[in-house]
A and B are shown apart, each in its own frame.
Chain A
Amino acid sequence: MGQQARADDELLHAPLVIEYGFNRTTGPVVGAFLTGLREQRVLGIRGADGRVVCPPVEYDPTTGEPLTEMVEVGTEGTITSWSWVPGDREGQPIPAPYALALVRLDGADTAMLHVVDAGSPDAVATGDRVRIRWADERSGSITDIACFEPVGGAS
Chain B
Amino acid sequence: MSPAESDRTLSTMPTDVWSQPSVDVPDLGGVEQVQRITVPASMRYDYSPGLTQTRFLRALEEKRILGERTPGHEDVYVSHRGVDPVTGLPTTEEVEVGPHATITAFCVVHIGFGVNAPPTPFVSALFLPDGAAVSLYGTVGGISHEDVRIGMRVEPVWVDDADLTTSMENIRYWRPIDEPDVPAEQLKGHM
Contact = CB atoms under 8 A, between A and B. Distances in A.
Contact of A31 (B26, B33, B38): B33
A128 B89 CA distance: 65
Given A12-B49, A12-B54, A35-B28, A2 B21 contact: no
Nearest to B58: A8
Interface string A40-76: 0101010000000000001000000011111110000
B72 interface: no
B43 A43 contact: no
A3 B82 contact: yes
A23 B82 contact: no
A110 B29 CA distance: 26
A2 B92 contact: yes
Given A12-B166, A68-B22, A26 B47 contact: no
A36 B130 CA distance: 64
Given A3-B92, A69-B24, A20 B44 contact: no
A16 B44 contact: yes
B26 A24 contact: no
Contact of A16 (B29, B32, B47): B47
Contacts of B90: 1-3
Nearest to A37: B34
A17 B25 contact: no
B42 A17 contact: yes
B34 A140 contact: yes
Given A12-B58, A25-B35, A32 B40 contact: no
B111 interface: no
A44 to B, nearest CB: 10
Interface of A: 1-3, 5, 8-29, 31-32, 34-36, 38-39, 41, 43, 45, 58, 66-72, 90, 140-141
